[in-house]
Structure 1
Amino acid sequence: MPPYSTSQKQAIAQFVNLTNSKDSVASKSLRATGWNVERAVDALKFPFLTNRFFAGTAGPSKSTKFLNEVFDSYRDDAEETPDGIGIDGAMKFLGDIEVQLDEVACLAIFEMCKCPSMGEFTREGFVDGWKMTHCDTKPKMTQHVQYLRSNIPKDPELFRRVYRFTFPLSRMQGQRNLQFEIAAEQWKLLFTADRGGVPWNTATTAWLDLWIEFLEGRGKRPVNKDLWEQAEVFMRKSLEDEDFGWWSADGAWPGALDDFVGYVKGKRGQGSEMEVE
């Protein structure tokens, strides 16, 4: 991939998430629309409307003007950070649209706005993210939060998008992996029903508790991106079939998940094909 700015990389990631396109298609479409994600997505889906719909729309729309005004009202320091909202402003904004900090919908807002870190918004991410949802008033933003709460647990694609974005969002600056303590807290948030996530438990197995217990027993090692992403895939599989009919010792699972299968089987008194550390 050619060298892109941070905002361009965020736009490419957002386009790919929305359209399931390749990065090359995303970058080509975005360059053609001046890196405007909303226009690029519409141009891909409705090419016959592109020229007519976007003709004469070079100036800022009313929604863009409103969203910039909202953004400006929450900046902590207008002079030092003209294009950023810090933690204090972010907390006030989230409170005003009725988002709790300990719910998955909060992570979904961060994903939608492509926040560079927890509780930090950029102007471009904020404006583009809310424009994509067609929310140009605070009441509409609050309604969208309700939509997220209702749909995250039952929409696997939406959940996966939020789940995967949580990994870079939660990493400490300069680190490639996620500290175990942080990963564990995020799993407890994302895999728990009362916080708006997908509950990871079945009739006979408290999967989430066993997963945390297992990783603690391995020494609370940092969690890499592959393990983080595959844990969600494993979770889905275990909810579909808690007896491991889908699992194979020759599969391409990360080693920790292979060992976890052995750990669970050992807890059930079934024996194991895997060596448990």
Structure 2
Amino acid sequence: MNKLGRSNRDKVQQFMAITGASEKVALQALKASDWHLEGAFDVFYSQPHIRTYTDTRHLEELYHRYKDSYADMILVDGITLLCNDLQVDPQDIVMLVLSWHMKAATMCEFSKQEFISGLQALGIDTLEKFRERIQYMRSELKDDQKFREIYNFAFGWAKEKGQKSLALDTAIGMWQLLFAENQWPLVDHWCQFLQVVFFCILIEHYNLFELLIISPHA
């Protein structure tokens, strides 16, 4: 690494600090992305042959730390404990990004399959690695394509089981959460308009917003 320029050495160190990867893996991912740091994260987390090996036993231990006492799932109390361990607020948007990675079917619930598969995809098998991935998950919101995917995921994730629509207050909370991060200046006006016109939000309304606001800027 001594042959690298200072800028690239800094990128290697930053990559290793965030991912927990070795120097060899960091160099491989950064070279594959032409030394773009965010691109290197994508390479690292999307390609199994380069991603850090995860220990199944450690994943099981993490799952059982948060699993509900009466159901084979992680529910509200377990997610609250997870947030405490990660030192993030349960309302932090990074928990939505995490749920997207886990392909969670319902808000405030993780099945065992969702939890373990999601952590494997992120290369996480310890709390330390979990904390290190927080910055990476936040950075994904700056990627237009990933932001659109997270936006579309959020409708099904946030609506109540068996319902085809999203409760208006839930939809407003979701838009405010997503677009505070995306810095759309008219989000408050949009939410005020909805409160006058709608009682609930159908998928058609949600998708229309995506077409009008997100897609033109992607």
Q: If the length of structure 1 is used for normalisation, what is the TM-score?
A: 0.56
TM-aligned CA distance change 1:178 to 1:135, over 3 Å = same
- Whole-Å separation in 1 of the counterparts to 2:195 and 2:110: 33
Report the CA distance between 1:106 and its aligned residue: 1.0
SS in 2 for 1:223: strand
1:177 to 165, 168, 182: 165
TM-aligned CA distance change 1:208 to 1:122, over 3 Å = same
Which residue of structure 1 aligns with residue 182 of structure 2? 198
Identity of aligned residues (%): 27
2:209 to 221, 231, 243: 231
2:56 to 64, 83, 88: 64
TM-aligned CA distance change 1:42 to 1:151, over 3 Å = closer
Would you say the 8 A contact 1:91–1:119 is kept in 2? Answer: no
Would you say the 8 A contact 2:66–2:79 is kept in 1? Answer: yes
- Whole-Å separation in 1 of the counterparts to 2:164 and 2:54: 40
- Whole-Å separation in 1 of the counterparts to 2:105 and 2:216: 32
SS in 1 for 2:104: coil
Cα displacement string for residues 206-264 of structure 1 (whole angstroms, at most 9, x for unaligned residues): x212211222221x231111221231232235658xxxxxxxxxxxxxxxxxxxxxxxx
- Whole-Å separation in 2 of the counterparts to 1:65 and 1:74: 15
Report the CA distance between 1:168 and its aligned residue: 1.2
TM-aligned CA distance change 1:234 to 1:181, over 3 Å = same
Q: What is the letter of the counterpart of residue 64 of structure 1?
A: T
Structure 2: runs of 5+ lacking an equivalent: 1-45
Which residue of structure 1 aligns with residue 107 of structure 2? 118
Report the structure number with the largest CA radius of gyration.
1
Report the CA distance between 1:108 and its aligned residue: 0.8
Q: What is the letter of the counterpart of residue 56 of structure 2?
A: T
TM-aligned CA distance change 1:123 to 1:98, over 3 Å = same
Report the CA distance between 1:87 and its aligned residue: 0.8
Q: What is the letter of the counterpart of residue 110 of structure 2?
A: F
Which residue of structure 2 aligns with residue 16 of structure 1? none
Would you say the 8 A contact 1:200–1:239 is kept in 2? Answer: no
2:138 to 146, 149, 165: 149
TM-aligned CA distance change 1:208 to 1:238, over 3 Å = farther
Which residue of structure 2 aligns with residue 96 of structure 1? 85
- Whole-Å separation in 2 of the counterparts to 1:149 and 1:70: 22
Report the CA distance between 1:157 and its aligned residue: 1.7
Q: What is the letter of the counterpart of residue 200 of structure 1?
A: W
Structure 1: runs of 5+ lacking an equivalent: 1-40, 47-60, 202-206, 241-277
SS in 2 for 1:191: helix
Report the CA distance between 1:103 and its aligned residue: 2.1
Which residue of structure 2 aligns with residue 15 of structure 1? none
TM-aligned CA distance change 1:62 to 1:42, over 3 Å = closer
Report the CA distance between 1:62 and its aligned residue: 5.4
Report the CA distance between 1:159 and its aligned residue: 1.3
Q: What is the letter of the counterpart of residue 213 of structure 2?
A: M
Confirm or deny that 1:211 pairs with 2:195: no
Q: What is the letter of the counterpart of residue 207 of structure 2?
A: E
